[in-house]
C-alpha cells in the first residue's frame, strides 16, 4: 500500500472507477487480453455502449463487430447475455453482492472479486496472474498455481493478506506491483520493497516461481477457404455450433487433416456443389497464413474464384459486396488475408 501511494505510476482509465458496469466491462475484456490491446477496445465500447441498457438493446452483430480482433469470443457472447439479464431482469441495476455477481454468466471468482471490491468495497481478494507471481516469489510457494490445491492455497493466502478496510485499493496495488515491479521476466528487484524477505530473491529462484503444472497441448488444424465471387459479391457464412469463432463470419470453409493441394481443395468444393467443373476462374491463391490460438494453431489457404452462377447452398450463406465486408465481424485470420490483398 505504501509502494502504491508513493511509487505506483501505472495509469489506466478504469483505476479508481466505481461504476460496476465499467469495471465489469474492463474485467471481461482483460480476462484473456493484454492491457495494451484491451485499452482501445474498452474505450470504444464505452463510446458506443455508454451504459448496460445500451449494450443490452444493441444488435448482437454490432456488439460482435466492436469485439472483432479480441478473440475468445465466448466472452462476447457472455457479455451480451449478462447485459440483457441485468437490463431486463434487474431493471438495469448491477448486482451488489459477491455471490450475485459470481452468478452472472462469464463471471468467475477473480472477476467477481474485482467487481465487488472495486465497485462496492467488499473484502474479496483478487487473484490474477500478477498476484499469483508476487505471492509465489515472496513466500516461496511451489504448489502449481494451475492445480486445484494451488488455486485454493493462493486464494486463501490472498484473502488472509487483504486489507479489509481498503480492499479495492489493495487489490489494485498488488496487481499493479506484479505488472510493473514483480514482472514475469526481468523483474525490477532493485526497486522492490520486499528484497530483504522475498524467498525467490534470497534463494535465486526468481525464474522458477511461480510453478505451473500442466503443459499446453496445441492442436493443429488446416482451414481451406473458398473466396467465391459472383456479380461483384463475395460469399460469407456465419459459424455456429460449439467450435471456434461461433457467430463470426468466414468465407466458405473446407477443413482438412493436413495440408492439401489446390487441386484437392477445388475438387472437394465441386463435390460440395459449390463450384461447377470448368465453370469458374481462379483469381488468386494465398500463401499459407496462420493464426495461433491458445490451444490451436490454424493454418489456412485462401483460393479466390469467380463464378457465373451462385450455387444452391444453405441459408447461412450471404452474398456481400466487398466494400460492405467491414460491417461483419470476422476472425483475425480473415482480416490477415484481407490486409494481405
Give 42-92 pLDDT, tens digit per residue. Answer: 999 999 999 999 999 999 999 999 999 998 899 999 999 999 999 999 999
Distance set, CA 3 to CA 15, 36, 118, 139, 160 (Å): 16, 23, 19, 18, 19
Whether residue 235 contacts residue 252, with contact meaning beta carbons closer than 8 Å, is answered with: yes
Strand extents, DSSP E, the chain: 219-230, 233-238, 249-250, 253-256, 280-285, 289-292, 296-307, 317-321
Is 70 exceeded by the pLDDT of residue 127? yes
Query: Rounded to 5 degrees, what angle do the CA atoms 297, 301, 306 make?
Result: 150
Confidence (pLDDT) at 215: 80
Q: For all residues of the chain together, what is the average pLDDT? A: 94
- Give the pLDDT mean for 260-271: 95
**Statement: 219-340 belongs to CATH 1.10.10.10:** no
Give the 3-state secondary structure of residue 12: coil
Alpha-carbon torsion, ordered 134, 137, 140, 142, to 10 deg: 90
Instruction: Give phi and psi for 239, each to the nearest 5.
Output: -85, 140
Cα angle 227-244-126, degrees, rounded to a multiple of 5? 140
* Domain 2-208 grouped into CATH 1.10.340.30: yes
Rounded Cα distance between 240 and 249, Å, is 10
Cα→Cα distances 58→5, 32, 64, 70, 304, Å: 40, 24, 10, 19, 34
pLDDT confidence of residue 207: 94
CA 155/CA 1 separation, integer angstroms: 19
Burial class (CB in 10 A: 0-12, 13-18, 19+), 119: buried
In a 10 Å sphere around its CB, with 0-12 CB exposed, 13-18 middle and 19+ buried, how is residue 83 labelled? Answer: buried
**Pick from 126, 129, 120, 139: which is nearest to 170 by CA?**
126
CATH 1.10.340.30 domain span(s) along the chain: 2-208
CA 228, distance to chain mean position in Å, is 30
Note the pLDDT of residue 314: 67
Tens of pLDDT, residues 203-238: 999 999 999 987 888 999 999 999 999 999 999 999
pTM of the predicted model as reported, rounded to 2 decimal places: 0.84
Give the pLDDT of residue 240. 85
Looking at residues 35-44, what average pLDDT do you find?
93
Q: For residue 297, is pLDDT > 70? A: yes
Q: Is the pLDDT of residue 312 over 70?
A: yes
Tell me the C-alpha distance between 227 and 322, whole Å: 11
Domain(s) of CATH 3.90.79.10: residues in the chain = 219-340
Whether 229 is a known active-site residue: answer no
**Number of helical (H) and strand (E) elements in the chain, helices listed first:** 14, 8
Alpha carbon distances (Å) from 322 to 75, 253, 338:
28, 18, 10
Which residue in the list 17, 27, 60, 229 is annotated as catalytic? 27
My answer on whether omega of the bond before 291 falls inside 30° of 0, hence cis, is no
Amino acid at each position: 500500500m505504501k509502494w502504491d501511494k508513493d511509487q505506483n505510476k501505472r495509469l489506466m482509465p478504469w483505476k479508481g472507477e466505481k461504476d460496476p458496469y465499467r469495471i465489469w466491462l474492463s474485467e471481461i475484456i482483460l480476462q484473456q487480453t493484454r492491457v495494451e490491446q484491451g485499452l482501445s477496445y474498452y474505450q470504444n465500447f464505452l463510446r458506443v455502449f455508454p451504459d448496460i441498457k445500451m449494450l443490452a438493446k444493441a444488435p448482437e452483430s454490432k456488439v460482435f463487430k466492436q469485439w472483432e480482433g479480441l478473440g475468445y469470443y465466448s466472452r462476447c457472447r457472455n457479455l451480451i447475455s449478462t447485459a440483457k439479464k441485468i437490463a431486463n431482469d434487474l431493471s438495469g441495476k448491477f448486482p451488489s453482492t459477491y455471490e450475485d455477481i459470481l452468478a452472472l454468466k462469464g463471471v468467475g471468482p477473480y472477476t467477481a472479486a474485482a467487481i465487488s471490491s472495486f465497485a462496492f468495497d467488499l473484502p474479496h481478494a483478487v487473484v490474477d496472474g500478477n498476484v499469483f507471481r508476487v505471492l509465489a516469489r515472496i513466500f516461496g510457494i511451489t504448489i502449481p498455481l494451475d492445480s486445484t490445491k494451488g488455486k485454493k492455497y493462493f486464494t486463501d493466502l490472498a484473502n488472509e493478506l487483504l486489507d479489509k478496510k481498503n480492499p479495492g485499493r489493495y487489490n489494485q496495488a498488488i496487481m499493479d506491483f506484479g505488472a510493473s515491479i514483480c514482472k514475469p521476466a526481468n523483474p525490477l528487484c532493485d526497486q522492490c520493497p520486499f528484497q530483504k524477505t522475498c524467498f525467490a530473491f534470497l534463494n535465486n529462484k526468481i525464474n522458477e516461481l511461480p510453478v505451473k503444472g500442466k503443459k499446453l497441448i496445441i492442436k493443429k488444424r488446416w482451414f481451406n477457404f473458398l473466396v467465391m465471387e459472383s456479380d461483384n459479391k463475395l460469399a460469407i457464412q456465419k459459424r455456429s455450433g460449439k467450435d471456434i469463432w461461433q457467430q463470426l463470419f468466414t468465407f466458405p470453409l473446407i477443413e482438412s487433416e493436413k495440408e492439401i493441394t489446390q487441386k484437392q481443395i477445388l475438387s472437394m468444393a465441386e463435390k460440395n456443389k459449390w463450384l461447377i467443373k470448368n465453370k469458374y476462374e481462379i483469381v488468386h491463391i494465398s500463401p499459407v497464413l496462420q493464426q495461433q490460438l491458445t490451444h490451436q494453431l490454424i493454418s489456412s489457404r485462401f483460393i479466390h474464384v469467380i463464378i457465373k452462377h451462385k450455387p444452391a447452398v444453405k441459408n447461412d450463406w450471404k452474398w456481400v459486396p466487398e466494400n460492405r465486408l467491414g460491417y461483419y465481424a470476422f476472425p483475425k485470420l480473415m482480416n490477415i488475408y484481407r490486409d494481405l490483398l
